[in-house]
Every structure is written in structure tokens, then in C-alpha cells.
């Protein structure tokens, strides 16, 4: 198959999933064309089956905001015709599903019919898509998609509750490339650069938006370090980062917290992590939690959104109501204070993560591709 993948090329979960999906499909012999405004952060072009096409948005004084949707839909039309692409797979409802629909209509006028798969990732539905300014267009775009998938059952339920959706939504969870982790299991990293031997390493990874409840991460760690000698690794960047740094200073724990910013060495950090914190207000899936679990790291998280579908309470970690930092800290200490308990949770986290191996999940997408392509024949 020749598949065009449209996604946001940033460190966000949807872009990471779309990129890893495309790379695995390429390894299976499919020809993959990434179409977006910059090269995805995890895209490796050393593969004859992987292609990247940049969407250029020309600046024009008339427009206060540059019309990315128009540039994207035009680029999609050009690439479909040039490379004889069989199928569009767009990640994120806006603007990608909308641009994809417009591209389909332009192609249809030239006698070219092409199916479009739309994957819903979370904030495109729960935060942005539900805004009155966008709701009508998002509803239309989803209903006009040929196949719709969501990354969790919770997101599927939310989509049906927020929008008047007539389409079936297939749940295909996010995934992790376990072979890559196995290959990097002997990463040559000096743990002593992050913490002393007697200290536990606790990690949080996110885009530092308000929905991630960054002050709660700091509060949970503050409570943990009063009982368990530990260091906190804060990985990522965003609007809440400066406030978090100030909070650490006020609490007198700045020497115990390392802010990495956006990092390409997440695997190295997770390989030495003992506990992962994700107390978000909501998570459509919890990809960061899954990545931690794949490294054998138990997770302390909120119980919102799709997190209970990934982090199993009392097995791979613990779930609590968002904002209950006291319970989260107590559960964290419960895991960390005893090496036997910690090892049990680490082993359980690894076992559960294996259910989400990319080899299992990508086959589900391939099956959907084949089904929709057969309908278009």
C-alpha cells in the first residue's frame, strides 16, 4: 500500500504515534509519505519506503493567520496524484480531517477516489474540537471520514457524548516499540549523573500544559522526598515550566529536581527511573505512562480518561482522583519503600506494556486499511 500520513510533527503524543506507526508500516513493506509542515521529531529517513513532503504556507499580508488547511489540502492533492497514493491517514481531527476531506473532494472532481482514515487522539476532541467555533466543522469532518479510530475506549465514549457522530469508531490503542527498548537495554548512561546510589529516581514527562497539573507533580515529589531519598527528573517544556521551577525554589527542593526541557534521551532517563508520575487532569490514553511501563517503571497517575486502560490499579502502579496528591504520594511511598514491592510493580508494568507492543497494534490498522480499500475497489 501507498499511505499518506498527516500529523503534527512535534513532541506531542499524536505526532509520536503517527510517526512510529508510519515507520513500522514501512518496515512491513508499505510506502509511507509523511505530509506536514516540518519533519516529525522521531522520523528517521534512512528507509527507502519512507518519504517526507513539507507543506509550505506562503505569507501574505491579507491573512492575519496563514491558511494552513488550504496549503495542506492542496499538498495532499498534489502528492496523491504524483505518488499514486492509495489511502490517507490523518491524525488529529483539526485541521487534518477537515483538510483531508477537502483534498478528497478536489481529487473526486478529477475522477480520483481515495479513502481517508481519521484517528482521534484526545485534545482534538475534548478540548479544542468541542469549542463552539469548531464543533460543527469537526462533527462534519469525522462523519465524512471513511474510517474513524480512537486511541482509547474513553475517548470513543467522549466523542459520542460531545458530537453528533454517525460513524462507527474503532478503538485501536497507542503502542510501544518493545524491540527498540530491548535493543537499548544496555544503554551506557552513568546513573550517578542523575542521583546518588541510595536515592530513587522519579520522572515526569509532558508538554507542561495546565492539563498536566505540573504543580501536583512537584507537590507529590515534595511529599515523597520527605520519606524516601529521591530525585525528580522533569522532562519536557511548556507554559507551566517556569512556575514549576519557582515552586521548587519556594519548597527548598531545587537541588533535588532536574529540568531537562525537551529531550531526545528519554530512553536513557527512563532506563534508570524507579517511579513515573502522571497526575493529569485528563489523558485520552497516557502514552507517556506506557513508555515508562515498557521500561519497567511503575506509574502513579490520576484515574481520568484512558489512564485506567493503561495503568492497572494496584498492579502496574496506582490510580487516584485527579488532585489527590496526598494519596498519590502515599501510594508512591508504598511502592518505593520496599525493594521487593518495587521489583514486583516493575515486573508487572513490563508485563502489561507487552500487550501494547507495536507488532500487535499496527496489524489492527493494516486490517482496517484493507477493509476500506476493498470497499473503494
- C-alpha closest to that of 208 among 180, 181, 242: 242
pLDDT at residue number 63: 59
pLDDT at residue number 43: 77
Name the β-bridge partners of 33. 4, 51
pLDDT at residue number 265: 83
Helix, strand counts (H, E) of the chain: 14, 13
Name the β-bridge partners of 53. 35
- C-alpha closest to that of 200 among 287, 313, 278, 276: 276
Contact predicate 4/87, CB 8 Å: yes
Q: What is the DSSP annotation of 160-182?
A: HHHS---S-EEE----B-HHHHH
Reduced DSSP (H G I as helix, E B as strand, rest coil) percent helix, strand, coil of the chain, to 5: 45, 20, 35
Contact predicate 155/284, CB 8 Å: yes
* Count of Cβ atoms closer than 10 Å to residue 107 Cβ: 19
- C-alpha closest to that of 335 among 350, 314, 355: 314
Determine if the peptide bond prior to 95 is cis (ω within 30°). yes
Reduce the DSSP state of residue 260 to 3 states and report it. strand
Alpha helices, H only, the chain:
13-27, 68-83, 98-108, 123, 135-144, 153-162, 178-183, 214-225, 241-251, 266-271, 287-294, 325-336, 339-353, 358-376
Positions in the chain short of pLDDT 70: 11-12, 45-46, 60-66, 124, 126-131, 182-189
- C-alpha closest to that of 88 among 148, 171, 158, 137: 148
Q: How far apart are CA 44 and CA 192, in angstroms?
A: 31
Q: And the C-alpha cell for 125?
A: 476532541
Q: How far apart are CA 133 and CA 274, in angstroms?
A: 43
Q: How far apart are CA 370 and CA 377, in angstroms?
A: 11
Contact predicate 87/94, CB 8 Å: no
pLDDT at residue number 134: 80
Where residue 317 falls (left for φ over 0; alpha for ψ -120 to 50; beta otherwise) is left
For the full predicted model, state whether its pTM sits above 0.85. Answer: yes
Query: Cell match 486502560: residue?
Result: 309
Reduce the DSSP state of residue 242 to 3 states and report it. helix
Query: Cell match 502515599: residue?
Result: 330
Phi, psi for residue 312 in degrees, rounded to 5? -90, 120
Name the β-bridge partners of 171. 150
Contact predicate 117/92, CB 8 Å: no
107 contact partners, CB below 8 Å, separation of at least 6: 77, 80, 81, 113, 114
pLDDT at residue number 235: 95
Mean pLDDT over all residues of the chain? 91
Amino acid at each position: 500500500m501507498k499511505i499518506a500520513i498527516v500529523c503534527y510533527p512535534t513532541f506531542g503524543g499524536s505526532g509520536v504515534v503517527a510517526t512510529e506507526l508510519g515507520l513500522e508500516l514501512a518496515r512491513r513493506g508499505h510506502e509511507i509519505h509523511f505530509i506536514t509542515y516540518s519533519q516529525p521529531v522521531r522520523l528517521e529517513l534512512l528507509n527507502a519506503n519512507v518519504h517526507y513532503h513539507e507543506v509550505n504556507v506562503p505569507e501574505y499580508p491579507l491573512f492575519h493567520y496563514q491558511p494552513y488547511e488550504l496549503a495542506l489540502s492542496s499538498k495532499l492533492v498534489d502528492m496523491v496524484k504524483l505518488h499514486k497514493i492509495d489511502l490517507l491517514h490523518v491524525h488529529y481531527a483539526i485541521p487534518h480531517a477537515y483538510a483531508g476531506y477537502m483534498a478528497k473532494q478536489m481529487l473526486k472532481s478529477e475522477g480520483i477516489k481515495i479513502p481517508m482514515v481519521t484517528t482521534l487522539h484526545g485534545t482534538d476532541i475534548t478540548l479544542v474540537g468541542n469549542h463552539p467555533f469548531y464543533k460543527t466543522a469537526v462533527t462534519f469532518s469525522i462523519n465524512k471520514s471513511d474510517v474513524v479510530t480512537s486511541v482509547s475506549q474513553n475517548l470513543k465514549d467522549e466523542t459520542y457524548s460531545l458530537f453528533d457522530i454517525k460513524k462507527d469508531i474503532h478503538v485501536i490503542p497507542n503502542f510501544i516499540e518493545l524491540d527498540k527498548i530491548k535493543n537499548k537495554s544496555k544503554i551506557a548512561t552513568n546513573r550517578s549523573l542523575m542521583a546518588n546510589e541510595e536515592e530513587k529516581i522519579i520522572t515526569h514527562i509532558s508538554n507542561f500544559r495546565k492539563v498536566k497539573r505540573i504543580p501536583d507533580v512537584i507537590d507529590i515529589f515534595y511529599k515523597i522526598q520527605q520519606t524516601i531519598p529521591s530525585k525528580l527528573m522533569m522532562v519536557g517544556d511548556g507554559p507551566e515550566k517556569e512556575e514549576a521551577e519557582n515552586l521548587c525554589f519556594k519548597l527548598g527542593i531545587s537541588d533535588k529536581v532536574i529540568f531537562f526541557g525537551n529531550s531526545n534521551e528519554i530512553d536513557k532517563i527512563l532506563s534508570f527511573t524507579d517511579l513515573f508520575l502522571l497526575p493529569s487532569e485528563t489523558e485520552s490514553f497516557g502514552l507517556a505512562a506506557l513508555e515508562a511501563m515498557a521500561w519497567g517503571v511503575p506509574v502513579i497517575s490520576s484515574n481520568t480518561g484512558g489512564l485506567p486502560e493503561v495503568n492497572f490499579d494496584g498492579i502496574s502502579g496506582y490510580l487516584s482522583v485527579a488532585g489527590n496528591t496526598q494519596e498519590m504520594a502515599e501510594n508512591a511511598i508504598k511502592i518505593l519503600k520496599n525493594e521487593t514491592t518495587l521489583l514486583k510493580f516493575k515486573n508487572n508494568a513490563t508485563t502489561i506494556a507487552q500487550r501494547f507492543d507495536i507488532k500487535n497494534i499496527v496489524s489492527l490498522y493494516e486490517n482496517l486499511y484493507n477493509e476500506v480499500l476493498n470497499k473503494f475497489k
